[in-house]
C-alpha cells in the first residue's frame, strides 16, 4: 500500500512540474535565409492561392538530448497573423547533442503573405525566433 502511495505522489509531482523530467534540452535556432517562389515552383505552393516559402534554419543543440526536426513540430506565423504548420523538411531527422544542424522548411503560404516568426515545439520543449524581412 505504501509503495502505491509513493508512486502516486511521484507521478503527481511530475505532472505538477515539481520534478524536471527532461534535463537534457538546451537548444536554439536561427534563420539563415528565407525565399519565396511563385505558384508551382519548388517543393510546395501548388495551390491556386499559395506560394512556397522556404526557411533555412540552423539548430544549435548544446544539450544532451537530440532535437527532432519532425515536420509536425514546426509552425510559422505570417504578417497577416496566420499560422502555417507542418512544412516539408529537408535535412537530417534530428540534431544530436553537442551539434549544429541545418534544415530547410518549405511552407505553403497564401499569396502576398510573408513569414515573420518561426517556432518549434515537441510538446516538452520549445524554441522561437523571428524571421528577417525577405
> Is 55 exposed, middle or buried, given 0-12, 13-18 or 19+ CB atoms closer than 10 A?
buried
Tens digit of each residue's pLDDT (9 = 90 or more) over 7-28: 554 445 455 554 555 567 999 9
pLDDT < 50 stretches in the chain: 5-6, 9-11, 13, 18
* 59 alpha-carbon distance from chain centroid: 10
Residue 46 lies in a domain: yes
Nearest Cα to 67, choosing from 26, 105, 128, 19? 26
* CA nearest to 97, candidates 20, 21, 28, 25: 25
**Residue-range definition of the domain harbouring residue 120:** 23-128
Query: What domain count does the chain have?
Result: 1
Give the CATH number for residue 81.
2.60.40.1240
The reply to whether 67 falls in a domain is yes
Looking at residue 48, what is its pLDDT?
Answer: 86
Q: Are 44 and 108 in contact (CB under 8 A)?
A: yes
Q: Is residue 10 domain-resident?
A: no
Tell me the three cell numbers of residue 77.
506565423
Amino acid at each position: 500500500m505504501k509503495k502505491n502511495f509513493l508512486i502516486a505522489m511521484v507521478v503527481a509531482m511530475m505532472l505538477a512540474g515539481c520534478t524536471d523530467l527532461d534535463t537534457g534540452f538546451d537548444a536554439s535556432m536561427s534563420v539563415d535565409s528565407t525565399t519565396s517562389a511563385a505558384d508551382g515552383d519548388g517543393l510546395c505552393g501548388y495551390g491556386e492561392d499559395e506560394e512556397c516559402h522556404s526557411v533555412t534554419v540552423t539548430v544549435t543543440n548544446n544539450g544532451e538530448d537530440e532535437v527532432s526536426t519532425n515536420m509536425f513540430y514546426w509552425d510559422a506565423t505570417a504578417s497577416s497573423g496566420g499560422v502555417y504548420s507542418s512544412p516539408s523538411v529537408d535535412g537530417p531527422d534530428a540534431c544530436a547533442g553537442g551539434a549544429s544542424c541545418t534544415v530547410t522548411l518549405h511552407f505553403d503560404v497564401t499569396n502576398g503573405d510573408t513569414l515573420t516568426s518561426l517556432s518549434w515545439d515537441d510538446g516538452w520543449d520549445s524554441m522561437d525566433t523571428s524571421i528577417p524581412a525577405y
